[in-house]
Amino acid sequence: MTQEHDETADDAVVPSDAQQLEVIGVREGAFGVRGSGDTSGFGGLTSAIVLPPASTAPYGGWFDEVAEHLEAGVSGAIEKVVVDRGEITFHVTREHLVEAVRHLRDDPTLRFELCSSLSGVHYPGETGRELHVAIHLLSMSFRRRIRVEVSVPDADPHLPSITPVYPTADWHERETYDMFGIVFDGHPGLTRILMPDDWPGHPQRKDYPLGGIPVEYKGATIPAPDERRRYS
């Protein structure tokens, strides 16, 4: 039997430098499961969900060159820059997304020719910015990698498609739509790619039911978490 209780960020285990971080929620257990039988053995674990803070220039090395050329080429596109664990992320506004990635591709001093991946993230505790899209770009000319991130509210989950700039984003956007419900306006064929067309909901959102979903082939079912075998 599980015991439900309310936690705040003050009660959770927060990193020592959390005053510089953005605390957006609290995770209970290994997977953030509430009241449904966490069988991971970490049911008593409580930890804060934090995002790295915005960085200030100079960022170091070629990071500054990319930031300066992007800001000069698309004024107002950058919301913040985050340098964390040796990687740089440019948070851009959705209104400037297509213009920003096109500039990153076409500027001869940048030349990020390849979009290697595009994926979604759901932060239900980040009010007004619940849905994020992370885009990974590669410059084969200069052997550099960056991340472009953009967020939208759950109430208006629309982003412009970047497939006109990077055709490789086609199936990535379809999967992000399928799993998270983010709508990419202007996509040439935005349909589900993993789930059946009539599947209800978006399975990788954190508010999606965990388990207990009937499987429609061979009569199999997935038991709900509180009905699964325990190992403790």
Task: Compute and round to an integer the Cα radius of gyration of the chain.
Answer: 20
Q: In angstroms, what CA-CA distances link 100 with 2, 12, 45, 92, 174?
A: 48, 38, 40, 8, 21
Q: How many CA atoms lie within 13 A of 167 on its CB side?
A: 0
Task: Give residue 117's pLDDT.
Answer: 97
Task: Give residue 24's pLDDT.
Answer: 77
Q: What is the CATH number of domain 62-185?
A: 3.30.460.80
Q: In angstroms, what CA-CA distances link 55 with 52, 62, 100, 198?
A: 9, 15, 19, 43
Reduced to 3 DSSP states, what percent helix, strand and coil does the chain have, rounded to the nearest 5? 20, 25, 55
Q: Are strands 46-51 and 183-185 parallel, antiparallel or unpaired?
A: unpaired
- Counting every residue written for the chain, the total comes to 232
For the ranges 8-22, 145-159, 185-199, the maximum mean pLDDT occurs at 145-159
Task: Give residue 31's pLDDT.
Answer: 64
What is the average pLDDT value for the chain, to the nearest integer? 85
Task: Give residue 81's pLDDT.
Answer: 97
Q: Where are the alpha helices (DSSP H) in the chain?
A: 62-73, 97-106, 169-180
Task: Give residue 8's pLDDT.
Answer: 45
Q: Where are the alpha helices (DSSP H) in 19-168?
A: 62-73, 97-106
- pLDDT band at residue 5 under the 50/70/90 scheme: very low
- pLDDT band at residue 60 under the 50/70/90 scheme: very high
Of 16-25, 176-185, 187-196, which gets the smallest average pLDDT? Answer: 16-25
Task: Give residue 190's pLDDT.
Answer: 95
CA gap 207, 154 in Å, rounded? 12
Question: Quick check: 134 and 116 in contact, CB under 8 A?
Answer: no
Question: Quick check: 75 and 82 in contact, CB under 8 A?
Answer: no
Tokens representing 209 are 């039911």
Work out the average pLDDT over 113-128.
Answer: 94
Helix (H) or strand (E) holding 112: none
pLDDT per position as a tens digit, 139-169:
999 999 999 999 999 999 999 999 999 999 9
* CA distance from start to end of the chain: 13
Task: Give residue 18's pLDDT.
Answer: 42
Tokens representing 178 are 């399928």
Question: Quick check: 166 and 97 in contact, CB under 8 A?
Answer: no
Q: Are strands 78-84 and 87-92 parallel, antiparallel or unpaired?
A: antiparallel
CA gap 139, 113 in Å, rounded? 6
- pLDDT band at residue 17 under the 50/70/90 scheme: very low
Whether the predicted pLDDT of 229 surpasses 70: no
Higher pLDDT pick, 14 / 219:
219
Question: Quick check: 159 and 150 in contact, CB under 8 A?
Answer: yes
Whether the predicted pLDDT of 3 surpasses 50: no
Domain ranges of the chain: 62-185
Whether the predicted pLDDT of 33 surpasses 70: no
Task: Give residue 193's pLDDT.
Answer: 93
Question: Quick check: 148 and 88 in contact, CB under 8 A?
Answer: no
Whether the predicted pLDDT of 125 surpasses 90: no
- Percent of the chain past pLDDT 90, that is, above it, reads 62
